[in-house]
């Protein structure tokens, strides 16, 4: 098993998402360092893809910027190798099944193990088809992280019982992006999960303010923030790492 559990060992976990290579590899490396220095407990790294179906316009644009800048899967692996020189918090990849397939599933997942990636999130992979990747994940000690959405309903128990690493609870229907209000009955979803597993739950999609982070941390074990951080990258470019560090600190400080 991976060391993802360590992210949740000392209270509620803050999990930032950063698209690798946006706007360049050096900025990604510096942004992750600033995030960890300011309280990030686990880092979710996006491997860009040309058709990121679950993403809203903010992260879609980040994918396009990174791809236009020449990022590749091998260059993302190099970013992680550099980060692992002095960062020991858990790190997971968020990407798409096509990226893994095209690289070669076993080659991709074995490389994850080699460079210190603890988990893999594939939002376009139906739960029922996870056996395409699960044997390799088990072989190489990389957690295949499952997602639960508001529409999962009677599937929540099944997904929870087989969860690894942590459960990614999607706060709202639709694509990623900041939201002014989250109205889903997340407490009921978390209760259903708790009845079936003791794996940590982290809520993502739409969280952008310290107030939202605090509210989500009251019912879950962790909070995932992506679009708000990617907006900082879009706005400040190579100068964004310091802004990301300040933002992460404000979110972490607001959580229980």
pLDDT in tens, 110-131: 999 999 999 999 999 988 999 9
CA pair distance 8, 13, nearest whole angstrom: 5
List, for residues 77-105, the tens digit of each pLDDT value: 999 999 999 999 999 999 999 999 999 99
CA pair distance 135, 220, nearest whole angstrom: 29
Could you tell me what percent of the chain has a pLDDT over 90? 81
List, for residues 126-170, the tens digit of each pLDDT value: 889 999 999 999 999 999 999 998 877 788 999 999 999 999 999
Domains within the chain, CATH numbers bracketed: 4-146+221-254 (3.20.20.70)
Residue corresponding to tokens 């978390």:
190
Is pLDDT at 54 greater than 70 in this prediction?
A: no
Name the residue among 219, 249, 220, 221 with its Cα closest to residue 8.
221
Rounded to two decimals, the pTM is 0.93
């Amino acid at each position: 098993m991976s060391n993802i559990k360590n992210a949740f060992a000392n209270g509620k976990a803050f999990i930032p998402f950063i698209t690798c290579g946006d706007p360049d590899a050096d900025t990604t490396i510096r942004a992750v360092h600033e995030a960890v220095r300011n309280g990030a407990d686990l880092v979710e790294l996006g491997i860009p893809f040309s058709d990121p179906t679950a993403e809203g316009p903010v992260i879609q644009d980040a994918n396009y910027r990174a791809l236009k800048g020449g990022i590749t899967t091998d260059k993302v692996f190099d970013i992680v190798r550099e980060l692992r020189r002095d960062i020991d918090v858990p790190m997971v990849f968020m990407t798409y099944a096509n990226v893994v397939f095209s690289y070669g599933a076993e080659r991709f997942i074995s490389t994850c193990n080699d460079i210190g990636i603890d988990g893999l999130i594939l939002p376009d992979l139906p739960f029922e088809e996870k056996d395409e990747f699960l044997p390799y994940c088990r072989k190489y000690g990389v957690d295949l992280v499952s997602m639960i959405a508001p529409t999962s309903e009677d599937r929540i128990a099944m997904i929870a019982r087989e969860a690894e690493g942590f459960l990614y609870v999607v706060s709202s229907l639709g694509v990623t992006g900041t939201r002014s209000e989250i109205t889903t009955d997340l407490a009921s979803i978390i209760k259903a999960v708790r009845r079936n597993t003791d794996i940590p739950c982290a809520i993502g999609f739409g969280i952008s303010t310290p107030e939202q982070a605090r509210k989500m941390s009251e019912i879950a074990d962790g909070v995932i923030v992506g679009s708000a951080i990617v907006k900082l990258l879009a706005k400040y470019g190579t100068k964004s790492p310091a802004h990301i560090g300040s933002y992460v600190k404000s979110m972490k400080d607001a959580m229980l």
